[in-house]
Amino acid sequence: MSTSESTLEVRDLRVWYGSEQGSVRAVDGVSFDLRPGEILGLVGESGCGKSTLGRGLLGLLPPGAARDGELRFRGEDLLSLPRKRQNALRGGDLGMIFQEPLTRLNPLMRISEHFTEALRTHQPGIRKAEIERRSLEMLRTMGIPPTRFRAYPHEFSGGMRQRLLIALTLVLEPAFVVADEPTTALDVLVEAQIIRILHDLRQAVDTSMLLITHNLGIIAEACDRVAVMYAGRIVEIGDAREVFRDPQHSYTRELLRSTISLSTTGLEFIDGAPPSLIDPPPGCRFHPRCPDAMAICADRLPPQRQHPAAAEHLFSCWAAEQRDGTVHLDPSEAAPLEREELAVADEA
Ligand SMILES: Nc1ncnc2c1ncn2[C@@H]1O[C@H](COP(=O)(O)OP(=O)(O)OP(=O)(O)O)[C@@H](O)[C@H]1O
Ligand code: SF4
Ligand SMILES: [Mg+2]
159-199: per-residue pLDDT in tens? 888 889 888 988 998 899 999 988 776 777 777 777 777 77
Indicate whether 149 pLDDT > 90. yes
Residue 60 belongs to a domain: yes
Give the model's pLDDT for residue 344: 47
Does residue 17 contact residue 51 with C-beta atoms inside 8 Å? Answer: no
Q: Look at residue 312 and tell me if it is in a domain.
A: yes
The atom number, within ligand 2, closest to the CA of 297 reads 2
Residue 26 sits in which domain range? 8-93+174-347
Mean pLDDT of all residues in 307-314? 92
- Which pLDDT value is given to residue 27? 98
pLDDT of residue 184: 73
73 found inside a domain: yes
Q: Which residue CA neighbors atom 24 of ligand 1 most closely?
A: 46
Cα separation, 84 vs 71, whole angstroms: 17
State in Å: Cα 171 to ligand 2 middle: 43
pLDDT tens profile 44-102: 999 999 999 999 999 999 999 999 999 999 998 999 888 888 777 776 789 888 776 66
156 lines ligand 2 (CB under 6 A): no
The pLDDT score that the predictor gives to residue 89 is 76
- Ligand 3 centroid to Cα of residue 214, in Å, is 9
Report the relative pairing of strands 208-212 and 39-43 from DSSP bridges: parallel
Is the sign of the CA dihedral 334, 338, 339, 340 positive or negative? negative
135 occurs within a structural domain: no
pLDDT at position 265, please?
Answer: 54
Q: Is 48 in the pocket of ligand 1 (CB under 6 A)?
A: yes
Say if residue 341's pLDDT is above 60.
no
Q: Do 255 and 264 contact (CB within 8 A), yes or no?
A: no
Band of pLDDT at residue 7, cut at 50, 70 and 90:
very high
Question: Ligand 3 centre and the CA of 41: distance in Å?
Answer: 13
**Domains contained in the chain, number:** 1
User: For all residues of the chain together, what is the average pLDDT?
Assistant: 88
Tell me how crowded residue 284 is: count the other CB atoms within 10 A of its CB. Answer: 28
Nearest atom of ligand 2 to the alpha carbon of 251: 5
pLDDT for the residue numbered 145: 93
Q: Output the pLDDT for position 315.
A: 98
Q: How far apart are the first and last CA of the chain?
A: 42
Q: Give the distance (Å) from ligand 3 centre to CA of residue 268.
A: 15
DSSP string, 153-206: GGGS-HHHHHHHHHHHHHTT--SEEEEESTTTTS-HHHHHHHHHHHHHHHHHS-
Question: Does residue 201 surpass a pLDDT of 80?
Answer: no
Note whether residue 3 is domain-resident.
no
Q: Which residue lies with its CA nearest to atom 6 of ligand 2?
A: 317
Residue 292 C-alpha to ligand 3 middle, in angstroms? 28
Q: In 17-93, where does DSSP find H-type helix? A: 50-58, 83-92
Averaged pLDDT for residues 14-38: 95
Please determine, for residue 225, whether its predicted confidence score (pLDDT) is greater than 60.
yes
CB 282, CB 300: distance < 8 Å? no
- What CATH number does the domain containing 237 carry? 3.40.50.300
130 pLDDT higher than 50: yes
Q: Please give the number of the atom of ligand 2 that sits closest to the Cα of 302.
A: 1
Q: Is the pLDDT of residue 140 over 60?
A: yes
Whether residue 223 is contained in a domain is answered as yes
Q: Alpha-carbon distance 276 to 156, whole Å?
A: 41
In a domain, 126, yes or no: no
Give 337-343 contacts, CB < 8 A, sequence gap 24+.
337/287, 337/290, 337/293, 337/294, 337/295, 337/297, 337/298, 342/287, 342/288, 342/298
pLDDT tops 80 at residue 342: no
Between 265 and 237, the more confident residue is 237
Residue 24 lies in a domain: yes
Q: What pTM was estimated for this model as a whole?
A: 0.91
Residue 348 is predicted with a pLDDT of: 41
Under the banding of pLDDT at 50, 70 and 90, the label for residue 214 is confident
CA nearest to 265, candidates 47, 40, 45: 45
